[in-house]
């Protein structure tokens, strides 16, 4: 089963998820991923750019994923395992917090995290997340892994919601509640 097949079987006509992800990718210059999410994305997205049966938006996402700098937090991934994706850098877990803080403070556009539940829970625990964008889809699985591993040390407040005509998806945007920004 491909990484995203579960969603396409349930909502094959709903492009809001892809449209929002393409919008996020266009506004970013860094994609931060854990090893498992990186491997899933790498196995799915690279060939989509040249697939004549893929929708134009899917081909664009494939090209954006290939072009963006990818930073993978992993102690086991090797540079040889990042092919065919160029622009991929590996951070070891021990150095991840300091390097990610440097990325945040440096010049550039947004830093995205897609999937990577273990990674973004770790980032939440260390106050390295500025916003959460949660896409809620009306797909009931009945079981699975909880979204949050533990309660983040800081609160979040709702800054925006979005729905799309003909879609069951709802986007919830939250900002980190830090002194001076609530």
Structural domain including 35 reads 5-130
The DSSP annotation for 146-179 comes to -S-SS--SS-EEEEEEEE-TT---EEEEEEE--T
Question: Is residue 181 in some structural domain?
Answer: no
- pLDDT tens-digit series, residues 134-152: 888 777 666 766 677 777 7
- pLDDT tens-digit series, residues 8-44: 555 555 688 889 899 999 999 999 999 999 999 999 9
Residue 49 in tokens: 């750019």
- pLDDT tens-digit series, residues 85-107: 889 999 999 999 999 999 999 98
Say how many domains are in the chain. Answer: 1
> Among 111, 162, 107, which residue's Cα sits nearest to residue 134?
162
Question: Is residue 137 in some structural domain?
Answer: no
Question: Is residue 170 in some structural domain?
Answer: no
Read off the pLDDT of each residue in 157-181 and give the average, rounded to a whole number: 85
CATH code, 89: 3.40.430.10
Question: Is residue 51 in some structural domain?
Answer: yes
Read off the pLDDT of each residue in 121-128 and give the average, rounded to a whole number: 87
Question: Is residue 15 in some structural domain?
Answer: yes
**Percentage above 90 pLDDT, the chain:** 51
For residues 60 and 63, what is the distance between their CA atoms, to the nearest angstrom?
5
Question: Is residue 60 in some structural domain?
Answer: yes
Q: Specify which of 13-17, 68-72, 168-172, 177-181 reaches the highest per-range mean pLDDT.
A: 68-72
Tell me the three state secondary structure of residue 180.
Answer: coil
- Give burial (CB, 10 Å; 0-12/13-18/19+) of 72: buried
Using an 8 Å Cβ cutoff, are 123 and 105 in contact?
A: no
Question: Is residue 45 in some structural domain?
Answer: yes
């Amino acid at each position: 089963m491909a990484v995203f097949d579960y969603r396409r079987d349930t909502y094959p006509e709903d492009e809001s998820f892809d449209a929002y992800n393409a919008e996020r990718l266009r506004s970013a210059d860094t994609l931060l991923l854990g090893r498992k999410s990186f491997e899933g994305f790498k196995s799915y997205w690279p060939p989509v750019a040249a697939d004549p049966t893929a929708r134009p938006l899917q081909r664009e996402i494939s090209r954006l994923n290939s072009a963006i700098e990818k930073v993978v937090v992993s102690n086991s991934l090797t540079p040889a395992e990042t092919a065919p994706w160029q622009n991929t850098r590996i951070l070891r877990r021990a150095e991840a917090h300091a390097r990610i803080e440097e990325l945040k403070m440096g010049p550039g556009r947004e830093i995205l995290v897609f999937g990577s539940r273990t990674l973004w829970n770790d980032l939440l625990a260390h106050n390295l997340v500025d916003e959460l964008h949660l896409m809620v889809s009306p797909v009931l699985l009945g079981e699975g892994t909880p979204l949050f591993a533990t309660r983040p040390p800081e609160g979040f407040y709702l800054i925006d919601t979005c729905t799309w005509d003909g879609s069951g998806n709802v986007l919830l945007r939250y900002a980190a509640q830090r002194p001076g920004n609530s």
